[in-house]
Amino acid sequence: MRKVVLMLLSGIVLLACKKQEVNIIPVPMQVVQEKGNFNINKSTRILIDTDDSVAFKVATYFQNLLKSKGLILELDKVVNFPDLKNAIYFTKKGFVDSLGVEGYMLTVNTGNITICANSGSGYFYAVQTLRQLMPMGFESANANYSRLSVPCVRIIDKPTFGWRGLNLDCCRHFMSKDFVKRYIDLLAYHKMNILHWHLTEDQGWRIEIKKYPKLTEVGAWRQLADGTEYGGYYTQDDIREIVAYAAERYVNIVPEIEMPGHSVAALASYPQLSCTGEPLKVETNWGVFKDIYCAGNEFTFTFLQDVLTEVADLFPFPYIHIGGDEAPKYRWENCPKCRARLKSQKLKNYEELQQYFISRIAKFLETKGRRIIGWDEILEGGRPHNATVQAWRGMDRVDSAVFAGAPVIVSPTSHCYFDYPVDVIDLRKVYSFNPIPDGISVQQKKLILGGECNMWTEHAPQKTVDSKLFPRMLALSEVLWSYPKVRSYDKFLERVRRHYGRLSNMGVNYGFEQSAVKVNSQLSADAKSITVSIERGQENLEIFYTIDGAEPITKSIKYKKPFVLKESATVKAVAFLNNSRVGEVFTREFVLSKSTGKNVKLGFAPATKYMGGGLQALVDGRKGTEAYNDGIWQAVQGSDMVATVDLGKSQPISTVSVGFLQSNPSWIFIPKQVDFFTSVGGTDFTLVGTVLSPVKAEDEGLIRHDFTLNVKGINCRYVRMVACSIGNCPDWHPAAGSPSWLFAEEISIY
Ligand code: ACM
Ligand code: ZN
């Protein structure tokens, strides 16, 4: 009995001594936690120096924040060295200049709090840090405190990158004004400072332009299959309100007005803007469309300049994004006006015509004191006038931009596309993001402004956006703000898990850290077996799997440890939480054949984005899923695919097979045919058969097809496949004339 009392007592002592948690995301540059707490209560005063107007602004924001949580504090202006007893003091005195514009020092003692910065943003970020030092419940909508305990700390902090953004696509799905404001708060809370607001698209024009009312009367609405009109737009008053809201939170808004492509909603509103002038409907499908603004028509420039004049009046930030991505040149090539422009401007090709188009817009915007940003395609005809580049297709595009001398915003599909499922980009992957490519000079590094995550919303209506952006945005905010030199994902993950309570209290419906089921595999050194291990997306999930292709249920094998496959098999796995299924069944086909683990030599350069796991991916024993970006498919754009497998020694073979994918909205087509060749010595190859595709380019949906040839009786050491691309996207295709893709997986030889 006495022992129990003692244990209880020591528990109380332990509790009393336990330091209040400090867990700030993004992690500050320097944090020293000290003993004790400061208690904010009703008599705590907020103090600012008399002449510090930016401190007044942020201190008022802070005062209102506390008021919304039940604590009404006085805000006083003071001179010289005020009495700091029970005070929260915003001051520039003692600021270390090397902390820069956004840096701050935050000191919490038992008697007071000092917030030291020399700019509004510095003060503001100190307040965000202070907010994360408050009890978890502070973020609840119905929080009502009469006292708030803050742990004693000394924090010195500043960001590494000045550009820390989110690109929110409010076109594919319209997002309400309040939702956009909520995201401004969420960005600010995580010290992100850019909302790149994607406002015009094929599927909807979302910004009121007084001079061209049809842009929103017609262009803001698309017709769903059931005939209903779907869409919405922001009035200029809405926009002014949002811009002011963002400014108060030190978030700059970069509006994106897409040109020359992704503009069908504008062309549907004013058909005279297109090359054909024919009526169009606001797009209801996702993809890239060949109808773009006519570059030969002067009205296009008059229109865009009028639009951008109103845009520049609404958005004070010096940058305006003009898109510039995914603009097929098919219409221009076939348009007399565009051809005449090409000639009159003495341009060599249609990429140069795009450069002319964008430079003309950039020069116009310069007269309004604005600079343009464009997606990395804008470099294809030469860097447009004074353009900043947003690199998206890969880190190699960052290299191209800095070599062209352009400032860059880094947001590659490999790490920053948060519309992609966590199966493709998980939290760990985002946390490993490095916006600075290897091998660039110190001077070139200075051109890297920072990064953004992209939230494209083709498959993400407003209600699903939280689960795509969180928790991944926590990782991005830490990469861009803190840029930790040593990154321990496991430690970061622990901190993320401690942060979830705050997100929940803010009503953030965050998603998974990684796919509910993640199947990993390792081919044995002799390539005779594959060891499969399965990771769970969250700690409390149970995984069940099958290896015979059957749907897994809770009666299937419960995953406990890695298992070994000695022959080809289809592994299906699914997660359960408290006996309820979570997410989709994950399927991976493994093949063990004569070619598995042998050497393959590629006669093409796989796209860096779609390497399939490396140069040996076509013989690694793993077959792709229906997701082209699943990391298994290996791809090339605009060429055939040639690959030669070396079996190591001559031997009889009976079947050869290779898999391809078609997803024509993504410009991916099954090859017209695959030719198979064999050789004994590796120099002279004999054609042993051609397999024609049964799939037509027009065939819709996700189609996987294995090209298989019976080669019984052949003895060889080398097998070569040549897959013949269909060439450019066909005339009927929305991206007509653009080079198509081939996506291949496993070459199996039996
Ligand atoms: C893009 O994802 N098309 C920039
Ligand atoms: Zn034209």
Ligand 1 atom nearest to CA at 390: 4
Q: What is the C-alpha to C-alpha distance for residues 483 and 26, in angstroms, rounded to an integer? A: 9
Over 80: is that where the pLDDT of 7 sits?
no
**Distance between CA 487 and CA 327 in Å, rounded?**
38
- Which amino acid residue places its CA nearest to atom 2 of ligand 1? 392
CA dist list (Å): 376 to 14, 189, 381, 387, 392? 56, 30, 11, 10, 7
Distance 393 CA to ligand 1 centre (A): 8
Q: Is 375 in the pocket of ligand 1 (CB under 6 A)?
A: yes
> How much is the pLDDT for 14?
42
**How far, in Å, are 221, 275, 289 from residue 284 at the CA level?**
10, 21, 11
Ligand 1 in contact with 685 (CB < 6 A)? no
Ion ligand 2: residues, CB within 5 A, are 275, 294, 296, 335, 337-338
Q: Which atom of ligand 1 is nearest to the CA of 375?
A: 4
Ligand 1 closest atom vs CA 456:
2
Question: Looking up tokens 């867990």, which residue turns up?
Answer: 23
- Type of residue found at 525: A
Q: Decide if pLDDT at 423 tops 90.
A: no
Lookup: tokens for 241: 């309100």
Cα of 333 vs centre of ligand 1, distance in Å, is 23
291 Cα–ligand 2 center, Å: 9
Strand residues in 280-344 grouped as ranges (E): 319-323
Radius of gyration of the chain (CA): 29
Please tell me the predicted confidence (pLDDT) of residue 362.
98
Nearest ligand, CA of residue 393?
1
Token pair of 287, please?
Answer: 């993809």
For ligand 1, whether the C-beta of 326 sits within 6 Å is: yes
Is the distance from the beta carbon of residue 325 to the nearest atom of ligand 1 less than 6 Å? yes
Q: Is the pLDDT assigned to residue 634 strictly greater than 80?
A: yes
Q: CA–CA separation, 125 vs 162, rounded Å? A: 13
Mean pLDDT (whole number) for 702-725 = 97
CA–CA distance, 589 with 619 (Å, rounded to integer): 13
Nearest partner of 481 among 182, 199, 250, judged by Cα: 250
Q: Does ligand 1 have an atom closer than 6 angstroms to the CB of 238?
A: no
Nearest to 460 by CA among 202, 175, 664, 223: 175
Say yes or no: CB of residue 392 within 6 Å of ligand 1. yes
Q: Cα of 401 to ligand 2 centre, how many Å?
A: 28
Q: What is the mean pLDDT of residues 416-432?
A: 95
* Closest alpha carbon to 119 in 99, 138, 136: 99
- Stretch 193-206: mean pLDDT, rounded? 98
User: How sure is the predictor about 16, in pLDDT bands with cuts at 50, 70 and 90?
Assistant: very low
Q: Which two tokens stand for residue 542?
A: 């149970």
Give pLDDT, residue 540: 83
* Residue 106 per-residue DSSP state: E
Please, are residues 358 and 375 in contact by the beta-carbon 8 Å criterion?
A: no
CA distance 366 to 278: 33
Model confidence at 334: pLDDT above 50:
yes
Give the per-residue pLDDT at 18.
Answer: 64
Tell me which residue of 628, 606, 603 sits closest to 617, measured CA to CA: 606
Check whether 6 has a pLDDT greater than 50: no
| CA distances to 362, 463, 554 from 366, in Å | 6, 38, 63
Check if 458 has its Cβ closer than 6 Å to any atom of ligand 1.
Answer: no
Residue 362 CA: distances (Å) to CA of 302, 307, 371, 407, 411:
14, 14, 7, 15, 22
Are 134 and 148 in contact by the 8 Å Cβ rule? The answer is: yes
Number of residues written out for the chain: 750
Share of the chain above pLDDT 70, in %: 98
CA–CA gap between residue 94 and residue 652 (Å, rounded) = 81
> How confident is the model over 356-390, as pLDDT tens digits?
999 999 999 999 999 999 999 999 999 999 999 99
- Compute, in angstroms, the gap from residue 629 CA to the centroid of ligand 1: 15
Ligand 1 atom with least separation from CA of 417 = 2
Please tell me the distance between residue 142's alpha carbon and the centre of ligand 2 in angstroms.
Answer: 57
**How many CB atoms lie under 10 A from the CB of residue 77?**
14
Q: Tens of pLDDT along 573-603?
A: 999 988 889 888 999 999 999 999 999 999 9
Predicted confidence (pLDDT) per residue in 40-95, tens digit: 999 999 999 999 999 999 999 999 999 999 999 999 999 988 999 999 999 999 99
Range with lowest mean pLDDT among 235-249, 570-584, 644-658, 679-693: 570-584
Chain Cα centroid distance, residue 196? 12
Nearest CA to ligand 1 atom 3: 325
The closest-lying atom of ligand 1 relative to the alpha carbon of residue 392 is 4
Q: What are phi and psi of 399, to 5 degrees?
A: -55, -50
Using the mean position of ligand 2's atoms as its centre, give its distance from the Cα of residue 96 in Å: 56
Instruction: Tell me the backbone φ, ψ of residue 387, rounded to 5 degrees.
Output: -80, 140
| Closest listed ligand to the CA of 373 | 1
How far does the centroid of ligand 2 lie from the alpha carbon of residue 275, in Å? Answer: 4
Cα 280 to Cα 5, 206, 357, 705, 735: the distances in Å are 80, 18, 22, 34, 16
What is the model's pLDDT at position 539?
77
Taking only the tens place, the pLDDT of each residue in 512-567 is 999 999 999 999 999 999 999 999 887 789 999 999 999 999 999 999 999 999 99
CA 409 / ligand 1 centre spacing (Å): 13
> Is residue 681 packed enough to be buried (19+ CB in 10 Å), middle (13-18) or exposed (0-12)?
exposed
Q: Which ligand is nearest to the CA of 394?
A: 1
Query: Mean pLDDT over residues 216-236, rounded?
Result: 97
Q: Is the CB of 417 under 6 A from ligand 1?
A: no
How many angstroms separate the alpha carbon of residue 331 from the centre of ligand 2? 6
Banded model confidence at residue 706, pLDDT cuts 50, 70, 90: very high
Is the CB of 212 within 6 Å of ligand 1?
no
The alpha helices in 134-235, defined as continuous H runs, are 177-189, 214-217
Ramachandran angles phi, psi of 748, nearest 5°: -110, 135
